[in-house]
Amino acid sequence: MSKVSRSALIVTGLVLLGRSPLLAQSATPSSPPLPPADLALTRTFADGHMAYQLTSTRPNRAWFANAPRIQGWQPAEGPAPYAVQISHVREDDAIKVDVEVLYNPGLTARPVASHLVTRGSRVVVEALRDFGYEPIALSTVEVVPLAPYHPMTFCITPEIEISGIELLRAPYPGYRVTLRNLSPVAVATFAVQSYRGSEEALSSVPRGAGGRPALEPGGTFTFTLNLSAGSAADLRADGRVEPRALDSIEIESVRWADGRTSGQERYPGMSLVIPRNEGRLAQLRRIVKIYEDILTEPADPLAALAAVRRKLDALPAFDPEQLESAQQSMTMTKSAALSDLRRYEIAAGSQDPAIVSQWLAAALERYRRLLGGSGQR
């Protein structure tokens, strides 16, 4: 298997390298246990590269900044998309797939196509041509169950202890790793690199919630590496795919909350980008809730507009527990929302309730798109 590409993507706190995605999955403690995945979704790109992801009834997605583009294509207006995002969820004996393109800033999503890929079928997403991308073929492949073995684990600094590693088998094979911070200083972020032999495999940059440190002094942090994605290298002679276990997992760098770094960061800006993005999302959630709460109550639109202004003014600029970059982005997001509203009030020149109502609804939808395009709600 060739060495993984250095182009980095962020998906729900995970850095995806090239076209070998880690799955961003969500679950609640009350979720019923799911069986091991037996069917994978394959994506075949125009350059012949094939990538697959195991599927279950738990929704997942991955996005690809280096999906092949149509040479010479230019958008009619606005920027070109940044990446193709493919979301999927298992529905009985088929896979429901939603294809979107992502735009910067904020990785705002725009729908492209939705398909139901049945077992043994093949669907070509021709609609991607309208967004400057070569079509991507979607199909299914059977999965050989895997029971992973314990990998070797390493950490760049003795101040971080790898205190536990649990083997996972369903719905995806993988590993749940727990770290403990033995230092009196909080950890902002840390970088994980795994290997199969000497070849790089899955990478991630886990993060703390809401722009807070990943590891408080004396605290623990648990993250998951799922063996739920791969390439044609995992294809067997019988046509099925067999995910490959990891041989080692390494904490290769640690960015401390005081600005120090242990180890060599591959992507030095990532330790700032991740908490900054988290702070922005935290404030966007609060802004969306303000608009939703006010617009769900029957009220005069002018009174609703005034209520939005009061509540935006009253929003905390940041949370004191957050990292500095998260505090800064949270403050800027509040300021941008207030500026957006004030620009409307100055430029509108109208007190027509119908026009005000339309603007409020449009503002809510815009903030929802910003939040939804980041994969966070």
Beta bridge partners of 96: 89, 116
Give the tokens for residue 173.
């094979």
For the entire predicted model, the pTM comes to: 0.69
Please give the residue that has the higher pLDDT: either 69 or 104. Answer: 69
H or E, element range at 146: none
Domain 152-268, what architecture?
Sandwich (2.60)
Work out the number of other CB atoms within 10 angstroms of the CB of residue 358.
12
Can you give the pLDDT at residue 273? 72
Give the tokens for residue 360.
């409020």
pLDDT greater than 50 at residue 186? yes
> 97: pLDDT confidence band, cut at 50, 70 and 90?
very high
CA nearest neighbour of 124 among 20, 42, 240: 42
Please give the residue that has the higher pLDDT: either 346 or 32. Answer: 346
**What are the C-alpha distances in Å from 321 to residues 14, 45, 188?**
22, 43, 12
CA 344 to chain centre: 32
What's the average model confidence in pLDDT over 20-37? 54
Can you give the pLDDT at residue 114? 97
Can you give the pLDDT at residue 375? 38
* Pairwise CA distance, residues 91 & 111, whole Å: 20
pLDDT greater than 70 at residue 377? no
Can you give the pLDDT at residue 256? 93
CA nearest neighbour of 219 among 161, 276, 262, 268: 161
| Percentage of residues in the chain having pLDDT higher than 70 | 87
* Pairwise CA distance, residues 230 & 25, whole Å: 16
User: Could you tell me the residue ranges of all domains in the chain?
Assistant: 39-142, 152-268, 272-372
* Pairwise CA distance, residues 275 & 127, whole Å: 35
Can you give the pLDDT at residue 20? 35
According to the per-residue pLDDT averaged within each range, which of 17-21, 54-58, 303-307, 339-343 is highest? 54-58
Give the tokens for residue 138.
């979607």
Lowest mean pLDDT among 12-16, 114-118, 203-207, 250-254: 12-16
* Pairwise CA distance, residues 305 & 325, whole Å: 31
* Pairwise CA distance, residues 216 & 213, whole Å: 6
* Pairwise CA distance, residues 231 & 130, whole Å: 27
